[in-house]
Amino acid sequence: MPSRNLSAIRRLLDEVGPVDPTGIEERVAKYGTRSVKKAAKVFGLNLAVSMVDLTTLEGKDTPGKVASLCQKALHPHQGLDCPTTAAVCVYPAMVKHAAKIVKGTEVKIASVATAFPSGQAPLKTRLAEVKAAVADGADEIDMVINRGAFLAGELSLVQDEIASVLEACGAATLKVILETSELETYDNIRAASFLAMQVLRPGDFIKTSTGKTSANATLGNNQVMLEAIRDFYLSTGTEIAMKPAGGIRTAKQALTFLIAVKETLGDAWLNNQRYRFGASGLLNDLLRQLVKEKTGCYQAPYHFSESASSY
Amino acid sequence: MSAKRTKSPARELLFGDLWEFDPAPESANPYIDPRYGLFINGKFGAPKSRKYFDSINPGNEEKLTEIALAGEADVNAAYEAAAAAFTPWSKLPGAERGKYLYRIARLLQDRSREFAVAETIDGGKPIKESRDFDLPMAAAHFFYHAGWADKLDYVTPGRTLAPLGVVGQVIPWNFPLLMLAWKIAPALATGNTVVLKPAETTSITALKFATILRDAGLPPGVVNIVTGAGETGKAVVTHPLAAKVAFTGSTAVGKWIQHAIAGSGKKLTLELGGKAANIVFDDAPLDQAVEGIVNGIFFNQGHVCCAGSRLLVQESIADAVVSKLKIRLRSLRVGDPLDKNTDIGAINSKQQLEKIQGLVESGVSEGAELYQPSCSLPKKGFYFPPTLFSEVSQSHRIANEEIFGPVLSIMTFRTPSEAIEKANNTPYGLSAGIWSDKGSRVLKMASELRAGVVWANTFNKFDPTSPFGGFKESGFGREGGKQGLLEYSNLI
């Protein structure tokens, strides 16, 4: 058993400042009252489409399923002039299958590595997984932090592991998943954000969650992380990107998250180099709303490809 | 690495027009009549004075309607109607009075969109505030007091509450409908009848409220609404039939009323001005404190008697707080009050705008440092950008006088006792805020601040169950909660 060294988290919090849960939730509730209409709505929906990391992370994933997902990422909807998604996000074993289709296009290949979602494998194994995914063609690696070490107060271990994964990534972009529901408090989320950002390169991401636990991205944890990114940028000049993942299913939700970005980090973060959505079902709701804005009518779900709930 | 204490160099966030929102005006019809009479004895009627005055929309300076100017004879008629209605109304079983109050509350909810639009175009406050704050709170006050109406025997053990008679009520222009609810709901619950005068710039929702009273079937004369300016108010507060006077407004007028009715035996409650201190300690959650500071001073364009208009920030974090505040101000949206995305609407009147401008000029000439984010204000209407003053000291006018506008004066302190001393160094004592992660410090501060309401790690929170009122020149008496009921009754 490692010794519990809570003072390390305490010290980090003293440095980066605490978060008041009531206050942050009150702040984010205001984003939901913004009214986005007409051209602003179409702009927001297209922006959201361009930010989607279209994801399939299931035990039953097959090369065929991944191929289908890649086509959806490239051609979200026939008859709609909308951007491609930012990336497809798959398990390492599926990277080479995705590469056949999207390599050389605008759509990037992201792969969850480091014994996703638990991260409970020896570091050596995790690093090998990252290297394999990158060798197969992954442009981006979504890693999980060692939450056990974080909660046990071994902050330098957490940070060293992130640094090792970063090294294994080579040129690939790194996204660091904090798994906010396991960190539980906003204080911990803020502390973990700084811990990660301190070793990341400009353009690397911090990400809320794996989507594999009961609670995923919320406006609250998104806001805590956006404010951490803002504070880190203003004090160091390093621009870190952000990816909420899991739980964002509707266009309305996505627009609300984007308003949080607009009002917290400003225009420089309103692009898919700086902000992503880890989602699957979200894409079709965005498309549904875009078609509605274009034609004035809502289409039935079966008008949209890949609308099965499984992806 | 240290986000909190490092001064930010030239790095800037860009809050530009990459994703500009389209206008999103609230389109509900406010149903405003072209002309309003006086609501006396359950009916609208022409004033005996035969005079009317215009009510304009401060958001675009267009005329909305004409409103009757009540003279002394009209006020007298209102008091006579209220006096005649008093005996049957006060003899009604509490449960029956409660039914009327519930009905009023539900009708307000039913018509909340219409009322919200009326409140916004009449007073200039952003639609999201009238929709999400004023209307729900006004209904909540009627619901809360409806519950009390049949439980007056249980307010104080072994005693019960007897009504006073006719109460004269004069309310301000910053929360027209909500202040009406604060005044009328407890008065009716305890069995009194009412003569109410709304502010001359914001009478519309009170007059629309009269139609709710009619729809609720409230007996004629129980509530009478007389409109007009200072002279009408004077007639209302000095009328011999008034058993009690309740006033919310400026300290100067409050003092005048207290003087005018001294020795008359009338009961009096005054809810007057404020210059609240919002105190931020170095261990506070800074982003949430900044949000609270913004909510404290820019809520309702700063037209709030308990607005956190003096920011006291611990010297060691002053730069960090001010720079975060400046960033936050850049995403506040100032403009058309009816737009659902507007955060700061129109100043209530030209007169108030001039007062704010005058005080801001005094701040500049006395050497305080002014910051206003660049924002384009509508050409027509009364608007003022959100304003911060740093380098303010206790002796500046902007640190002492109530500005009643979107203007924040920032001062610093070094120790908790200095914070207390500065916070209490004002003739006012309505509210205060404390921001700290340390519970024991919050409690100690709260007990030493001379203010009727102290908020910890939040600001401008209201609830019908919570008594509200001031210390010192912020007035006396409490509104809301059990304490508020006692102000409208005799304990027997």
CA B227 to chain centre: 19
CA of A229: which chain B residue's CA is closest? B3
Average pLDDT over residues A44-60: 96
pLDDT at position A311: 39
Q: What percent of chain A has pLDDT over 70?
A: 96
Q: Which of A10, A11, A20, A269 to mutate to test the interface with B (most CBs of B within 10 A)?
A: A20
Say yes or no to pLDDT of A6 above 80: no
Burial B99-124 (b: 16+ CB within 10 A, else e): bbbbbbbbbbbebbbbbbbbbbbbbb
Fold exhibited by the domain B35-272+471-491: Aldehyde Dehydrogenase; Chain A, domain 1 (3.40.605)
Average pLDDT over residues A212-234: 96
Q: Contact B328/B289 with Cβ under 8 angstroms?
A: no
CB contact under 8 A, B341 and A34: yes
Instruction: Enter the CATH code of domain A12-294.
Output: 3.20.20.70
Rg of chain A's alpha carbons, rounded to an integer?
Answer: 19
ipTM: 0.93
Q: Contact B78/B38 with Cβ under 8 angstroms?
A: yes
CB contact under 8 A, A15 and B6: no
Determine the Cα–Cα distance for residues A30 and A34; give it in Å rounded to an integer: 7
* pTM of the full structure: 0.94
CB contact under 8 A, B3 and A19: no
> For the domain B277-456, what is the CATH superfamily, name and number?
Aldehyde Dehydrogenase; Chain A, domain 2 (3.40.309.10)
Of A19, A35, A234, the CB nearest to B285: A19
CA of A187: which chain B residue's CA is closest? B285
Could you tell me how many helices (H) and strands (E) chain B has, helices first? 16, 20
Q: Note if B119 is an active site residue.
A: no
Q: Contact B420/B448 with Cβ under 8 angstroms?
A: yes
Determine the Cα–Cα distance for residues A279 and A205; give it in Å rounded to an integer: 16
pLDDT at position B2: 46
Q: What is the pLDDT of residues A117-142, one digit of tens each?
A: 999 999 999 999 999 999 999 999 99
Q: Which of A13, A14, A27 to mutate to test the interface with B (most CBs of B within 10 A)?
A: A27
Q: What is the 3-state secondary structure (H, E, C) of B311-327?
A: EEEEHHHHHHHHHHHHH
Q: Contact B64/B35 with Cβ under 8 angstroms?
A: no
Question: What's the mean pLDDT when you consider all of chain B?
Answer: 96
The residues pairing with B54 across neighbouring beta strands, listed in sequence order, are B66
Of A17, A41, A234, the CB nearest to B285: A17
CA of A39: which chain B residue's CA is closest? B22
Q: How many CB atoms lie within 10 A of CB A32?
A: 13
Burial of A249 (0-12, 13-18, 19+ CB in 10 A): middle
Q: Contact A257/A219 with Cβ under 8 angstroms?
A: yes
Q: Which of B21, B128, B331, B340 to mutate to test the interface with A (most CBs of A within 10 A)?
A: B21
Q: Note if A243 is an active site residue.
A: yes
Q: Residues near A258 by Cβ (< 8 Å), separated by ≥ 6?
A: A44, A47, A48, A270, A275, B19
The verdict on B114 touching A (C-beta cutoff 8 Å) is no
Of B6, B287, B331, the CB nearest to A263: B331
Token representation of residue B271: 């809810």
Q: How many CB atoms lie within 10 A of CB B54?
A: 9
Q: Residue A25: pLDDT band by 50, 70, 90 thresholds? A: very high
Of B128, B292, B327, the CB nearest to A23: B292
Q: What is the pLDDT of residues B220-236, one digit of tens each?
A: 999 999 999 999 999 99
pLDDT at position A9: 84
- For chain B, where do the domains classified as CATH 3.40.309.10 start and end? 277-456
Determine the Cα–Cα distance for residues A290 and A77; give it in Å rounded to an integer: 10
- Fill in the DSSP letter of residue B134: I
Say yes or no to pLDDT of A52 above 90: yes
Map tokens 């690696």 to a residue: A141
CA of B25: which chain A residue's CA is closest? A35
- For chain B, where do the domains classified as CATH 3.40.605.10 start and end? 35-272+471-491
Q: How close is the nearest chain A Cα to the Cα of B442, in Å?
A: 14
Q: Residues near B227 by Cβ (< 8 Å), separated by ≥ 6?
A: B36, B38, B67, B68, B69, B70, B197, B198, B200, B203, B206, B207
* φ, ψ for residue A55, nearest 5 deg: -120, 135
Domain segments of chain A as ranges: 12-294
Of B1, B16, B285, the CB nearest to A20: B285
CB contact under 8 A, B340 and A24: no
Cis peptide before A117 (omega within 30 of 0): yes
pLDDT at position A13: 87
User: How far, in Å, are A46, A174, B14, B26 from residue B17 at the CA level?
Assistant: 16, 30, 9, 23
- The candidate with the shortest Cα–Cα distance to A244, out of A284, A215, A267, is A215
pLDDT at position A302: 86
pLDDT at position B240: 98
pLDDT at position A7: 76
Sign of the dihedral through C-alpha A69, A71, A76, A79: negative
Map tokens 């390390």 to a residue: A8
pLDDT at position B1: 44
pLDDT at position A309: 45
Token representation of residue B184: 């009328």
Q: Among residues 119-138 of chain A, which lie with CB inside 8 Å of chain B? A: none
The verdict on B14 touching A (C-beta cutoff 8 Å) is yes
- The candidate with the shortest Cα–Cα distance to B229, out of B195, B266, B203, is B203
Determine the Cα–Cα distance for residues B133 and B130; give it in Å rounded to an integer: 5
Of B8, B24, B331, the CB nearest to A234: B8
Q: Where are the beta strands (DSSP E) in A56-182?
A: 87-90, 108-112, 140-144, 173-177
- Helices B204-215 and B112-123: crossing angle, nearest 10°? 160
Regions of chain B with pLDDT less than 50: 1-6, 8
Q: Residue A2: pLDDT band by 50, 70, 90 thresholds? A: low
Q: What is the pLDDT of residues A180-192, one digit of tens each?
A: 999 999 999 999 9
Determine the Cα–Cα distance for residues B120 and B336; give it in Å rounded to an integer: 10
pLDDT at position A127: 98
In the set B80, B129, B200, B271, the catalytic residue is: B271
The verdict on B396 touching A (C-beta cutoff 8 Å) is no
**CB-side neighbour CA atoms (13 Å) of B478:** 17
- Helices B135-148 and B176-189: crossing angle, nearest 10°? 10
Q: Among residues 209-268 of chain B, which lie with CB inside 8 Å of chain A? A: none
Determine the Cα–Cα distance for residues B219 and A226; give it in Å rounded to an integer: 56
Q: Chains A, B: CB contacts under 8 A, how many?
A: 111
Determine the Cα–Cα distance for residues B64 and B34; give it in Å rounded to an integer: 7
Question: What's the mean pLDDT when you consider all of chain A?
Answer: 94
The residues pairing with B390 across neighbouring beta strands, listed in sequence order, are B369
- Fill in the DSSP letter of residue A203: T
Q: Which of B6, B11, B127, B288 to mutate to test the interface with A (most CBs of A within 10 A)?
A: B288
The verdict on A11 touching B (C-beta cutoff 8 Å) is no
**CB-side neighbour CA atoms (13 Å) of B322:** 24
User: How far, in Å, are A61, A209, A256, A277 from residue A242 at the CA level?
Assistant: 26, 11, 15, 9
- The candidate with the shortest Cα–Cα distance to A156, out of A1, A3, A8, is A8
